[in-house]
Amino acid sequence: APGNAMIVLPDALTTGSAIEVRRTSGQGELLFLGQSPSAEAARDELPQSLGILDAVNADTATFASPGTVLWVRTDGPWTLVIEPLQAETVDSAVSGTGTRYLRYDGPSNTAGFRHEGDGTITVEVLTAAEREAPVISLGVIDQQLTWSSSPEVVFHIIAEPGAVWSLSVDEGTP
């Protein structure tokens, strides 16, 4: 599609679970804004930022409730794929390399994140109510992540291909 657009997400993508938005063509920055389904709420609130696709990030994850409108703001033509997020499920601890999506659906609201080595790494923590990037750093990281209580949490780890990291959900902390 050329330039700006409004996309009403189909019911299959608005179940409250995470979805992935991935650019398959186009260049430049794409900004995604979500808006509540009711007209009254839409008048009373500004659209919420759901993510940005740019030269570095070709995909992002977000949550969408029934009737959510996705606004795309950009200057040039683009093509997107929007589908349910395919993410590895984390029960307590996981380690890996490079960029990954991880999903957690337990009672905890804290986790430890560690990165050893060089290179830039970003960790986004997404729930239906919030999107934060508590880790945007270079080099060695040993940091505690927190989030509001939520039935589902997605961690988007954005790292260089050889970057070694670990995530350990703190058990017993509701």
Cα dist. 50→61, 119, 164, 169, 174 in Å?
Answer: 8, 26, 27, 24, 26
- What is the pLDDT at residue 6? 83
Can you tell me the distance from the alpha carbon of 158 to that of 136, in angstroms, rounded to the nearest whole number?
A: 9
Give me the pLDDT at residue 23, please.
86
**Assigned token pair, 21:** 């938005």
Q: Compute the mean pLDDT over every residue in the chain, rounded to the nearest whole number.
A: 82
Helices (H), 30-165: 39-44
Task: Kindly state the average pLDDT of the residues 2-17.
Answer: 84
Give the pLDDT confidence score for residue 32 in this predicted structure.
67
Residue ranges covered by each domain of the chain: 5-84, 88-169
pTM attached to this predicted model: 0.82
Find the mean pLDDT for residues 18-39.
72
The CATH topology of domain 88-169 is Jelly Rolls (2.60.120)
Q: Using alpha carbons only, what angle is made at residue 139 by residues 134 and 142, rounded to the nearest 5 degrees? A: 50
Considering the chain, what percentage of its residues have pLDDT values greater than 90? 32
pLDDT digits 0-9 by tens, 31-63: 666 654 544 555 555 556 666 777 677 788 888
Of 71 and 23, more confident: 23
**What are the distances in angstroms from CA 174 to CA 17, 91, 151?**
20, 14, 11
